[in-house]
Homo-oligomer: A and B are copies of this chain.
Amino acid sequence: MQTLEVSLGERAYPIYIGTQLLKQGELFVRHMPQPRAAIVTDSNVAPLYLQRLTATLAEAGVQVTPVILPAGEEHKNWESLNSIFDALLAARCERRSTLIALGGGVVGDLTGFAAATYLRGVPFIQVPTTLLALVDSSVGGKTAINHPRGKNMIGAFYQPQAVIADTETLNTLPDRELYAGLAEVIKYGLIRDHAFFDWLEPNIEALNARDPAALAYAILRSCENKAAVVAADEREETGERATLNLGHTFGHAIESGMGYGKWLHGEAVAAGMVAAAKLSQILGLLGADNVGRVESILARAHLPVALPALGADRYLELMGHDKKVEGGKLRFILLRAIGEAYLTADVGRDALLQALAASVSHD
């Protein structure tokens, strides 16, 4: 087991990465103020891991309330959130009861937001079971639900007590979700870790094939990058944390425009990162060779590299609802090199339209 620390002062917490962690009750109990927990999971993950974790906790003396949500991004909404509240209230969960998020990014975001707001805040533990959640959404304290007008519009910054990442849960992950997770892994190389990107290029097929050593290394390195960014800019105030959103302005537009759940988040981000790279190229920041490297590694991870053809006007409208809008101006994460991203509001409409035209699929 590896342990990473997310350095956030009084909100600091550990990330445990290893195998067989779902069987280690002590690891959970040490982060729970009271031997009482609700495990929130979804209809995909429950049949796989709910019983195992419940048994582990029961053996450790913890009283467990299970909450099973319907699976899918389209359920990341108020209705699911409220069904968590209903279950917590029916079970009389208290301020010191712990919420455990067992699942992917949707479960983590919903559970985290429930923990942030139930009785004005209760402890929670993230147990990510997808690659995307392992390397991205479970680290950093962003929680949210979607609104019909946009993704993650309602939420909170709320840090967990711990992230307990059992990499064996990846064995049951569908290929498509594995690849979607790799999009975020590749993102860390692109935004701040050139050496990691250089490692990823020859290792992407090993990751596709779930080589345990390659996956373990990629997960650890991704979490290290994420933890460092979050520690430097917890609430997205300096712009550093915003770089984690490379590809996300386009990506959110895809998810929202196609209807939540049609594209996986990582797939939308992959196509969005290519669009961001092309936008960077159009602005004279990035060479065609590097744009090619971005496109190629994502394609090798079986990820989409072109935007769906929604129409330029629709993209502009969808992106106008992004949280990164400021003073009415869209903000983008651009690349000035592999491993070097920055936030800017200084993108003209013409450049953006050109990037959209260059990035849209012609299928």
> Which of B119, B150, B235 is A153 in contact with, Cβ under 8 Å?
B119
Q: Is there contact, CB below 8 Å, between A120 and B157?
A: yes
In whole Å, how far is A74's beta carbon from the nearest beta carbon of chain B?
18
Which are the 9 A-B pairs with shortest beta-carbon distances? A89-B149, A120-B155, A119-B323, A117-B154, A94-B325, A120-B157, A120-B156, A94-B326, A117-B156
A144 contact set on B, CB distance < 8 A:
120
Q: Is there contact, CB below 8 Å, between A157 and B92?
A: no
4 extra interchain contacts, Cβ-Cβ under 8 A, other than A34-B327, A86-B149, A94-B327? A96-B326, A116-B156, A118-B154, A119-B155
> Assuming the A-B contacts A94-B326, A326-B96, A327-B34, are A157 and B121 also in contact, with contact meaning beta carbons closer than 8 angstroms in the complex?
yes
Q: Is there contact, CB below 8 Å, between A85 and B147?
A: yes
How far is B205's CA from A260's CA once the two chains are assembled, in angstroms? 60
A147 contact set on B, CB distance < 8 A:
85, 89
Interface residues of A in 22-79 (CB under 8 A from B): 34, 78
Q: Is there contact, CB below 8 Å, between A321 and B120?
A: no
Instruction: Give A132-166 as 1s and 0s: 1 = Cβ < 8 Å from B's Cβ atoms.
Output: 00000000001110010110111111000000000
- A residues near B (Cβ < 8 Å) are 34, 78, 82, 85-86, 89-90, 92, 94-96, 113, 116-121, 142-144, 147, 149-150, 152-157, 235, 320-321, 323, 325-328
- Interface residue SS majority, chain A: mixed
Q: Is there contact, CB below 8 Å, between B323 and A95?
A: yes
Q: Which residue of B lies closest to A235 (CB)?
A: B121
Q: Is there contact, CB below 8 Å, between A120 and B95?
A: no
